[in-house]
Structure 1
Amino acid sequence: MRIELDRPRCEGHGLCEEAAPELMHLDDDGELVLDVPEVDAADAAAANAAVRICPVAALRLSV
Structure 2
Amino acid sequence: MDLNELLYHHQVALLQGPVPACEATGSSFDLAGHYRRRIDAMRRMLGVAEYPDWCREPSGARS
TM-score of Structure 1 vs Structure 2, range by shorter chain? 0.3 to 0.5
Give the structure with higher Rg (CA). 2
Structure with more of its chain in helix, by fraction = 2
TM-score w.r.t. structure 1 length?
Answer: 0.33
Does 1 or 2 have the higher relative contact order (CA < 8 Å, sep 6+)?
A: 1
More strand by share: 1
| TM-score, structure 2 as length reference | 0.33
